[in-house]
Structure 1
Amino acid sequence: MRNTRLLVAVVSAATLLVTTAAAASAAPRFHHYVALGDSYTSGPFIPVQRLDPLGCGRSTANYPSVVADGLHAGEFTDVSCAGADTGSMTRPQQVPFNGTNAPQLGALRIDTDLVTLGIGGNDFDVFGRLVSTCPGLRAGDPTGNPCEEHFTSNGVDTVKTAIANIEPRVEAVLAAVHQRSPGARVLVVGYPRIAPERGYCPDVLPFADGDYAWLSRVESDLNQALADAASNGDAEFVDTFGPSRGHDACARGGSAWINGKDQNVFEAAAYHPLKAGMAGVAAVVLKSLR
């Protein structure tokens, strides 16, 4: 009888430990996660699109949504919006279909404990100018670097200059994030690679051959500016440029993270992340958190 009671006690204790461990693992590590950012965060045209508002192109399969699911976050608020720049963090943003996205920082609370921020590419219209200008210049000099030359004035790369001015803007956003949510872990998420390291695919990415390397330098410079802003702004930088090597717009066999020039309203916007890209970025973010 004594041995039986001892066995029961041991089994009960073991059961309690297993139950406690299971409860701990099921409990959310982060209680309130807020995602801030532009279209590379929101995921325009990636199914399924949310309607709050529709013009933000906010997908239920974007990287913040995948991260929130992976973390089992207690509460998740995604206010990212296509076309957002650093000014959209503190001012309302008008979006297509007569919609308005409220200032994104308004989603932050005193108890917010995780924030991801993907912003900067729309400031000074850096991204928009590249994709609207470069493809049209390829025909005149397909093997040269006409877009780089177009944006160079008196020997100065004006895009590089614009990027240098983005850094303090992101730092200001980070300061405001910490002020509203002082206990939050803040991650600045970089931009994934668009152009391949080697080779060309003008049918998908219609830049002149010489502009591929320049496009990569522009992205690298932008990501470095974001990394510096994160370092100066008490935040962590998540590099997605390096991990997206081999997943650029030219990648074949379904391995691309980025869509090419063709707008696909059932898959992804032109020159924007695909669903696979969002999953890839989410995996990098989750690795950083874990």
Structure 2
Amino acid sequence: MSTASRPTRPTHGRRPRRAAAPGAPSPRPGWSARPSATARRAAAALAATALLATAPAASAAPRGVFPQATTTPRAVLLQWGRPSGAGVTATRVERRDLSSSRPRWRSATTVRTNTVRIRGLRAGSRYRFRLRFRTAGRRFGAPGPSVLVRARGRTPEVVTGLRAAGDGSAVVLSWPAAKDATGYRVERTDVLTGGVERLGASTRARTLRDVPPARLAGRWLAYRVVAADGGAEARPSSAVEARATGSPGYATYWALGDSYAAGTGLGQPYDDQPCARNGRMWAALIPRDLVPLPQFLACSGAKTENVRLSRDGGVAQVAGIGGTQLDRVEQGLRARPGPTLITLSIGGNDARFVPQFTRCVTGDCTADHDTETALIRGAVRRGLDATFAQIRAVAPGADVLVAGYPRLFDEGPVPLDPLFAATLTQAERRLANVWATQVDEEVAAAARSHGLHPVTDEVLAAFVGHGAGGPSPWINRVEVVDPGTPIGLVPQFPATSSIHPTVEGNQAYADVVTAALRAFGSRVQVR
């Protein structure tokens, strides 16, 4: 069959293949005229190049554009200079939260200025910030160098109202919230040594339970709370002090005070004649497993001014013994620092007990009720406050127990002592006991206000039924002379031991203080 008569193949809608140009080579048999894959890739690359050549240019990575950061509470102010080259139309600020479990770069904001303030940062957290710039195109360039920022917090208010309480061997602290605080930390200071420890990490809780370690047994500990907001901290709170349970192992024991602490009622012969001090005084009767042998400084006739420091208004009672009682304590603590116990009774001579008692014996003292009460509530209290404040300052880490006075007289209708029966009415004996109780009230209040421990109520309770002139007196009656006065000394009239605790009375004082010391070891004390 000739080619002229061959039927035409249907095209099924396809465009007929264009005939080759005259002189063009014919395709090889069996090959398609479609371009190869390599040729197609080359063509695509050329097309892309041509497209980029005609599109607006994107920003190159900025060089030397480093954001300057200024932190403010929970925010940062970023500032930067414009990059060189084509005009920048926008800046993207990116942030990376380094405290996140999955720190990623994220857009923080886009601005058209050279400065921006980023708010809402978490106080104390660390962040990095970097910049991207856009020029005439729609895309941002590569990021520049980043800056590290630690977010500051607002300085919180100081914690007020910190409280401490004992719960077994634990010190339980609690405090109200402080404005702008996001956390709190607690400091514990050994008052004796000044050593400071931080208790645990910062916490959002407003309570803390601390069980002091054995090395701090029996020590006074000062607790303070610091409110914080990230890196910003308030000043520490005022301290509260608590005494850890246990015994500190006292290095020294100082027995201060007046005749009721000096054992004057035990009579002659005295170990110290100028002070009418007897070595069998109640401080010497406290068991040695609790305290060492006392340093005896108590002196008959002592007032609060004789206890206070010489440099702060104190007056030495006896010349040539090294100053006032507290002067000698201060000197002793410098020579031998360590856990210290101080006991004392003071205030009775400031209240003029001896001349007031003499007035009752020799006349009618009931008219002095208001005058004596005003003295006790006024000048006596001021003297106690000044004295106790100085004791706390000289020995801030010491245990200080303040003993008061018993009610002096039996209040029965007819005292068994003939002299009392003849010279003291029942009203006068009752009034003398009222004044003793008033002094105890001021002693206790002043002691507590200065962080000392009064045992005045315990002394009053111990002497109930044992007043002078009663059937079982622990307080001496009025003695004309002391038969034990050593030869060569002029006996005093009446005897110095009159209206002072007997042997049984001194033992009662010792029992009260012993019980208080054992209680100190069994539970937390707070001041």
Give the TM-score, by structure 1 length: 0.76
Does the 8 Å contact 2:447/2:453 carry over to 1?
A: yes
1:1-290 mapped onto 2 (5 Å cutoff): 29-44=249-264, 46=266, 49-51=269-271, 53-67=272-286, 69-89=287-307, 90=309, 91-94=315-318, 102-108=323-329, 109=333, 110-111=337-338, 113-124=340-351, 126-137=352-363, 146-149=364-367, 151-152=368-369, 157-164=370-377, 165-201=379-415, 203-205=418-420, 206-239=423-456, 240-252=459-471, 255-263=472-480, 265=482, 266=484, 269-290=497-518
Please identify the structure whose Cα radius of gyration is greater. 2
Higher percent of residues as strand: 2
- Highest RCO, 1 vs 2 (Cα 8 Å, sep ≥ 6): 1
**C-alpha deviation, 1:212, in angstroms:** 1.6
Does the 8 Å contact 1:257/1:277 carry over to 2?
A: yes
Does the 8 Å contact 1:193/1:219 carry over to 2?
A: yes
**C-alpha deviation, 1:49, in angstroms:** 4.6
Q: Please, which runs of 5 or more residues in structure 1 have no aligned partner?
A: 1-26, 138-145
- Please list the CA deviations of residues 92-141 of structure 1 after superposition, one character each: whole Å capped at 9, or x if unmatched: 1138xxx76741012322435211120001115x202222111112xxxx
Distance across 2 between alignment mates of 1:197 and 1:277: 18
**C-alpha deviation, 1:204, in angstroms:** 4.7
**C-alpha deviation, 1:73, in angstroms:** 2.1
**C-alpha deviation, 1:71, in angstroms:** 4.3
Q: Which amino acid aligns with 1:35?
A: A
Alpha-carbon RMSD across the aligned residues, in angstroms, is: 2.4
Distance across 1 between alignment mates of 2:284 and 2:453: 19
Does the 8 Å contact 2:276/2:300 carry over to 1?
A: yes
Distance across 2 between alignment mates of 1:105 and 1:180: 8
Q: Which amino acid aligns with 2:512?
A: V
Distance across 2 between alignment mates of 1:282 and 1:233: 23
Secondary structure at the aligned position of 1:187 is classed as: strand
Distance across 2 between alignment mates of 1:59 and 1:278: 11
Distance across 1 between alignment mates of 2:442 and 2:348: 11
| Number of residue pairs aligned between Structure 1 and Structure 2 | 243
Does the 8 Å contact 1:84/1:122 carry over to 2?
A: yes
Distance across 2 between alignment mates of 1:195 and 1:101: 37
Secondary structure at the aligned position of 1:269 is classed as: coil
Q: Please, which runs of 5 or more residues in structure 2 have no aligned partner?
A: 1-246, 310-314, 485-494, 519-527
Q: Which amino acid aligns with 2:443?
A: L
Q: Which amino acid aligns with 1:132?
A: T
Does the 8 Å contact 2:357/2:432 carry over to 1?
A: no
Q: Which amino acid aligns with 1:280?
A: A
Cα distance 1:171–1:212, how it changes in 2: closer, same or farther (>3 A)? same
Cα distance 1:106–1:184, how it changes in 2: closer, same or farther (>3 A)? same
Q: Give runs of ≥4 in structure 1 deviating > 6 Å.
A: none
**C-alpha deviation, 1:197, in angstroms:** 4.0
Higher mean displacement: 262-271 or 206-215: 262-271
Higher mean displacement: 160-169 or 41-50: 41-50
Cα distance 1:47–1:29, how it changes in 2: closer, same or farther (>3 A)? farther
Work out the percentage of aligned pairs sharing the same amino acid: 27
Secondary structure at the aligned position of 1:115 is classed as: strand
**C-alpha deviation, 1:263, in angstroms:** 4.2
Distance across 2 between alignment mates of 1:43 and 1:128: 16
Does the 8 Å contact 1:175/1:233 carry over to 2?
A: yes
Does the 8 Å contact 2:265/2:498 carry over to 1?
A: no
Cα distance 1:195–1:175, how it changes in 2: closer, same or farther (>3 A)? same
